[in-house]
């Protein structure tokens, strides 16, 4: 394939090759630059390019990658061998034949077009990943053209930003590309060596009879460790009883509530307090009043957007990122993969506000007009900075047809942007201390004096007002009623995706782009599960972390990960050479790999046992002993006999165990025996159904034929 001789205009002999990261970005850039002429071509099936001529008669051919077209591969072909440090960049391999074929066709088209190009423009996303995507294409597909290429920098795909970026091209920065290469190299070398070491432990234990895809890495390990540690604390928590005492008070016909200023931990104290306070008169001991400003929220970066979308819409972080990227490619918002919480004046505040006023619903038009009347527009800024991109902001471009998720995220970003320019809200707080027979009760109230930014950010944020009567110190109020509510101390809640992202960010592991992917990978590997309650480690996840803690504790610690992150930062700043990374990797991996090798039988046995249990286990019912775990039906990998144990035996050591019949198909009956142990239903040959209590010493422990039982259904398949 060659494009020479085609699309020749008067006075035009050569073209510039533009490399974009995604097809929609290539289309958008072509629409903006190709003001004189634009031709869409498909040289090979599924590979679209754009041949364009700009206003000043510059000729471009715009091509697109599909994200990363190149990945790292080990030179050593033996998958069982480790450690390995010799790797190379090769076209990305996909298990999907159609995708793999499209990658190769895309590289072929770009390679052929590059032969006739006079200049090369790197127009991928301006961050480490985007720089690396363009670098690999320019180096390998275009044959060492990275150093002579130019860089287009933009934070949104609006007409003005695209035109400005192509009118002011920069030299490419090899340090950023090297930092991207270093991150991939570190992740790949760590991941492949530690994962192969784990798989080898399992193979040694089961003599290569069973294969299981086990992975662990420098971010996977600590993240899984956070989840397991939190779960252990939850399950080991012993709830202590406590009581909250609330009084209902009356003043001049108005009623209000106040809480005892301390929690009661002894049952013996409850009746005493209730008796002393009931039907008594209280005196106003202290009044504290003050006004408090509530500043507007900081502009969104990708982490805060993901957390806010989860809080409001229960949208997963990975979904939020995907939706935000689609809005960016439609030129509706700025580049979302940013850690910045600052909006520079260079983005053009007034122009964006004018566009929002014209192109979006009129609900906030009055607020926008008020902002436009200001002589100076100063947004409330956050602390985080990103040298590559500003905080996420709406461009004001008229929205096209959007799906429900896109509409929600776009509206959230618009309201957040507007609220950063609005005045602080002002609250009037009042706290009144009421003294009753030696006991102090606290009544709290708050009133909104000025809604400020809250009126714009609604319904995503609101404050419930709580008004109190007017008080003077020393005046009396009557106790109308006093009650005690029993409660128990609670452990920290399980992580959800948003709080886990927050934990990863605060610990400095992962990146703004990869944290959500790590969580999804842990789910894919069946190390964790998630439901409405939160994220919970599986038995396999528990075993991986506990085994690593026992033998190779540094793998689930954040210390090593933070060290490697600092190496990447040093490379980007030019304080460290990329060639030195392998030395750090070998030094960092030597000790943990030796520990794994030394203990491979013990590690393999623990993993094998939990895999055997998890693959053959069925949850039957609640454990009658600890009341925390579930009775699970498992099969011994050694004797091949089945029995029941508490799912918490690895965590708390609960020794609840029960034998079950060794023949017949077992299904839980959802019934509990009078002795407290779960019942099971067993199907023998000819569909004969029996119900049994699994408690060995239960007085009713006998087989009961239930074919004619009123609760049974002989036509039900089990």
DSSP annotation string for 649-687: TTTT----EEE--SSSEEEEEEEE-TTSPEEEEEE-GGG
Nearest Cα residue to 197 out of 555, 563, 658: 555
Q: What is the pLDDT of residues 47-78, one digit of tens each?
A: 999 999 999 899 999 999 999 999 999 998 88
Checking if the pLDDT of 607 tops 80, the result is yes
Q: For residue 272, with 0-12 CB atoms within 10 Å meaning exposed, 13-18 middle and 19 or more buried, which class applies?
A: exposed
Q: Which is nearest to 114 in space by CA: 249, 226, 18, 42?
A: 18
Query: What tokens were used for 627?
Result: 């009341």
Residue 244 pairs in a beta bridge with: 485
Say if residue 537 is in the same domain as residue 473: no
Sign of CA dihedral 489, 494, 496, 499: positive
Residue 6, in any domain of the structure: no
CA gap 597, 578 in Å, rounded: 29
Does residue 116 lie within any of the structural domains?
yes
E strands present in 349-495? 425-436, 439-450, 476-488
Degrees, nearest 5: CA angle 701-703-705: 140
Higher confidence at residue 364 or residue 34? 34
CA distance 430 to 449: 13
Bridge partners, 289 (sequence order) = 430
Kindly report the number of other CB atoms within 10 A of residue 23's CB atom.
Answer: 17
513 and 429 part of one domain: no
Indicate if the pLDDT at residue 7 is higher than 60.
no
Residue 118, pLDDT > 70, answer: yes
Give the tens place of pLDDT for each residue, 491-518.
899 999 999 999 999 998 988 888 999 9
Measured distance CA(504)–CA(219) in Å, rounded: 9
| Closest to 18 measured CA to CA, from 123, 116, 106 | 123
Q: What is the 3-state secondary structure (H, E, C) of 571-606?
A: HHHCCCCHHHHHHHHHHHHHHHHHHHHHCHHHHHHH
CA distance 20 to 12: 23
Q: Looking at residue 331, what is its pLDDT?
A: 93
* Among 100-114, 196-210, 682-696, the range of highest mean pLDDT: 100-114
- With vertex at residue 188, the alpha carbon angle to CA 184 and CA 190, rounded to the nearest 5 degrees, is 120
Residue-wise DSSP of 97-156: HHHHHHHHHHHHHHHHHHTTEEEEEE-S-SSHHHHHHHHHIIIIITTS-TTT-EE---SS
Query: Is 234 among the domain residues?
Result: no
With contact defined as beta carbons under 8 Å apart, do 301 and 341 qualify?
yes
pLDDT at 577 over 80: yes
Residues forming a β-bridge with 294: 425
164-189 per-position pLDDT tens digit: 999 999 999 999 999 999 999 999 99
Residue 369 CB partners (closer than 8 Å, separation 6+): 357
Query: Strand 630-635's sheet: what is its strand order?
Result: 618-622, 630-635, 642-646, 657-659
Q: How far apart are the first and last CA of the chain?
A: 61
Residues 560 and 502 in one domain: yes
Residues 6+ apart with CB under 8 A from 70: 89, 90, 91, 92, 136, 137, 140
* pLDDT for residue 614: 57
Dihedral over Cα of 666, 668, 671, 675: its sign: positive
Alpha helix positions (H), 115-173: 128-136, 159-167
Q: Is the four-CA dihedral 664, 665, 666, 668 of positive or negative sign? A: negative
- Maximum Cα interatomic distance, the chain, rounded to a whole number of Å: 100
Answer yes or no: is pLDDT of 163 > 60: yes
Residue 5 inside a domain? The answer is no
**Closest Cα to residue 243, out of 487, 476, 455?**
487
Contact 495, 226 (CB under 8 A): yes
CATH code (residue 53):
3.40.50.140
Same domain, 92 and 135: yes
438 backbone φψ class: left, alpha, beta (φ>0; ψ -120 to 50): left
9 Ramachandran zone, left/alpha/beta (phi>0; psi -120 to 50): beta
Does 411 fall in a domain? yes
SS3 51: strand
Pairing of strands 37-44, 704-705: unpaired
Structural domain that includes position 582? 181-228+496-604
Asked if residue 457 and residue 517 are part of one domain, the reply reads no
Q: Is 488 exposed, middle or buried (0-12, 13-18, 19+ CB in 10 A)?
A: exposed
Q: Is the pLDDT of residue 194 over 70?
A: yes
- The residues with which 453 forms a beta bridge, in sequence order, are none
Last residue of a domain, one of 604, 627, 643: 604
Mean pLDDT of 78-84: 87
Give CA–CA dist 9/18, Å, rounded.
19
Asked if 625 and 656 count as a contact pair (C-beta separation under 8 A), the reply is yes
| Structure confidence at residue 225 (pLDDT) | 95
Rounded mean pLDDT of 222-250?
Answer: 92
The separation between CA 711 and the C-alpha centre of its own chain, rounded to angstroms, equals: 45
Q: Among residues 383, 400, 379, 397, which one has the least CA distance to residue 456?
A: 379
Specify the pLDDT at position 701: 58
pLDDT at 660 over 60: yes
Please indicate, yes or no, if residue 2 is contained in any of the structural domains. Answer: no
Residue 363 pLDDT level (bands cut at 50, 70, 90): low
Q: Are residues 68 and 139 in the same domain?
A: yes
Residue range 695-709: mean pLDDT, rounded: 55
Cβ neighbors of 275 (< 8 A, separation 6 or more) are none
Average model confidence (pLDDT) across the chain: 87
The verdict on 666 and 532 lying in the same domain is no
- Residue 633: HSE in the Cβ half-sphere, 13 Å Cα cutoff: 18
User: What are the tokens at 128?
Assistant: 């480490």
Pair 410, 530 in one domain: no
Nearest to 548 by CA among 515, 504, 608, 592: 592
Task: Using pLDDT thresholds of 50, 70 and 90, give the confidence band for residue 361.
Answer: low
Question: Using an 8 Å Cβ cutoff, are 664 and 682 in contact?
Answer: yes
Beta strands in 525-580 (DSSP E): 528-530, 535-537
Let me know: does 144 contact 116? Beta carbons within 8 Å. no
DSSP state for residue 392 in the 8-state scheme: B
350: which strand partners? none
pLDDT at 533 over 90: no
pTM for this predicted structure: 0.80
Domain assignment present for residue 205? The answer is: yes
Displacement of CA 184 from its chain's centroid (Å):
20
Cβ-based neighbour number of residue 427 at 10 Å:
18
Question: Would strands 150-151 and 117-122 be described as parallel, antiparallel, or unpaired?
Answer: parallel
Q: Are residues 19 and 152 both part of a single domain? A: yes
Q: Which of 470, 488, 506 is the last residue of a domain?
A: 488
Confidence grade of residue 6 (pLDDT, cut at 50, 70, 90):
very low
**Catalytic-residue membership of 335:** yes
Q: Are residues 429 and 416 in the same domain?
A: no
Residues 309-324: tens digit of each pLDDT: 999 999 999 999 999 9
Considering the candidates 15, 335, 380, 460, report the single residue annotated as catalytic: 335
Q: Are 442 and 261 in contact (CB under 8 A)?
A: yes
Number of domains in the chain: 5
Residues 629 and 674 in one domain: yes
Q: Is the dihedral angle over the CA atoms 295, 296, 302, 306 positive or is it negative? A: positive
Cβ–Cβ under 8 Å, residues 308 and 323: no
How far, in Å, CA of 335 to CA of 324, rounded?
Answer: 8
pLDDT of 439 > 80? The answer is yes
Q: Which helix (H) or strand (E) holds 619?
A: strand 618-622
Q: Are residues 631 and 571 in the same domain?
A: no
In this prediction, residue 9 carries a pLDDT of 40
Report residue 714 as tokens. Answer: 């002989």
- 632 — pLDDT class (breaks 50, 70, 90): confident
SS3 533: coil
Assess if residue 366 is contained within a domain: yes
Question: What would the mean pLDDT of 241-262 be, rounded to a whole number?
Answer: 94
Reported as a pLDDT band with limits 50, 70 and 90, residue 10 is: very low
């Amino acid at each position: 394939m060659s494009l020479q001789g085609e699309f020749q205009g008067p006075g035009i002999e050569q073209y510039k090759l533009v490399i974009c990261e995604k097809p929609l970005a290539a289309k958008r850039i072509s629409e903006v630059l190709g003001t004189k002429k634009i031709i869409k071509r498909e040289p090979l099936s599924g590979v679209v390019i754009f041949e364009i001529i700009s206003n000043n008669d510059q000729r471009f051919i715009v091509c697109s990658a599909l994200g990363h077209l190149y990945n790292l591969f080990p030179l050593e072909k033996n998958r069982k061998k480790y450690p390995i440090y010799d790797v190379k960049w090769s076209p990305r391999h996909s298990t999907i034949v159609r995708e793999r074929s499209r990658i190769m066709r895309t590289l072929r088209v770009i390679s052929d077009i590059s032969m006739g190009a006079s200049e090369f423009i790197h127009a991928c996303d301006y961050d480490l990943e985007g720089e690396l995507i363009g670098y690999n294409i320019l180096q390998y597909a275009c044959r060492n053209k990275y150093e002579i290429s130019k860089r287009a920098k933009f934070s949104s795909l609006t007409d003005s930003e695209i035109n400005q970026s192509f009118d002011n091209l920069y030299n490419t920065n090899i340090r950023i590309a090297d930092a991207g290469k270093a991150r991939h190299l570190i992740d790949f070398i760590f991941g492949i060596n530690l994962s192969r070491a784990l798989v080898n432990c399992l193979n040694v234990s089961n003599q290569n009879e069973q294969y299981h895809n086990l992975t662990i890495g420098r971010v996977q390990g600590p993240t899984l460790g956070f989840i397991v540690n939190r779960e252990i604390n939850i399950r080991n928590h012993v709830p202590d009883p406590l009581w909250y005492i609330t009084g209902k008070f009356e003043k001049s016909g108005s009623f209000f509530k106040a809480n005892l200023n301390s929690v009661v931990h002894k049952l013996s104290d409850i009746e005493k307090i209730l008796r002393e306070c009931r039907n008594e008169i209280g005196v106003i001991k202290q009044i504290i009043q003050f006004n408090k400003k509530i500043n507007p929220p900081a502009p969104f970066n990708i982490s805060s957007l993901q957390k806010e979308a989860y809080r409001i819409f229960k949208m997963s972080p990975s979904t939020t990122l995907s939706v935000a990227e689609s809005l960016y490619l439609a030129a509706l918002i700025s580049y979302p993969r940013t850690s910045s919480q600052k909006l520079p004046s260079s983005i053009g505040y007034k122009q964006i506000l004018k566009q929002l006023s014209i192109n979006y619903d009129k609900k906030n038009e009055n607020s926008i007009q008020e902002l436009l009347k200001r002589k100076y527009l100063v947004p409330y800024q956050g602390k985080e900075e990103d040298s590559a991109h500003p905080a996420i902001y709406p461009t004001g471009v008229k929205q096209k047809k959007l799906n429900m998720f896109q509409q929600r995220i776009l509206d959230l970003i618009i309201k957040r942007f507007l609220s950063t320019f609005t005045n602080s809200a002002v609250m009037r707080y009042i706290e009144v201390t009421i003294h009753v027979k030696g006991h102090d009760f606290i009544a709290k109230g708050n009133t909104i004096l000025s809604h400020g930014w809250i009126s714009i950010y609604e319904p995503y944020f609101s404050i419930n007002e709580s008004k109190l009567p007017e008080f003077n110190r020393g005046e009396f109020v009557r106790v109308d009623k006093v009650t005690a509510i029993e409660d128990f101390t609670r452990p920290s809640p399980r992580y959800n995706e948003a709080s886990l992202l927050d934990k990863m960010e605060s610990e400095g592991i992962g990146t703004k782009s990869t944290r959500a992917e790590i969580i999804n990978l842990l789910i894919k590997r069946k190390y964790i599960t998630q439901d409405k309650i939160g994220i919970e480690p599986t038995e396999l996840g528990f075993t991986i972390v506990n085994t690593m803690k026992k033998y190779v504790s540094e793998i689930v610690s954040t210390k090593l990960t933070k060290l490697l992150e600092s190496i990447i930062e040093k490379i980007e700043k030019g304080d460290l050479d990329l060639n030195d990374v392998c030395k750090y990797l070998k030094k960092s991996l030597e000790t943990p790999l030796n520990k794994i090798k030394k203990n491979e039988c013990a590690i393999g046995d623990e993993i094998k046992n939990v895999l055997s249990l998890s693959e053959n286990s069925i949850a039957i019912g609640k454990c009658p002993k600890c009341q925390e775990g579930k009775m699970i039906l498992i099969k011994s990998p050694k004797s091949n006999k089945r029995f029941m144990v508490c799912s918490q035996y690895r965590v708390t050591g609960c020794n609840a165990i029960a034998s079950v019949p060794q023949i017949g198909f077992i299904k839980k009956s959802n019934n509990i025996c009078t002795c407290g142990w779960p019942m099971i239903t067993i199907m023998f040959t000819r569909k004969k159904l029996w119900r049994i209590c699994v408690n060995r010493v239960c007085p009713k422990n006998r087989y009961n034929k239930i074919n004619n039982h009123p609760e049974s259904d002989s036509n039900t398949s089990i």
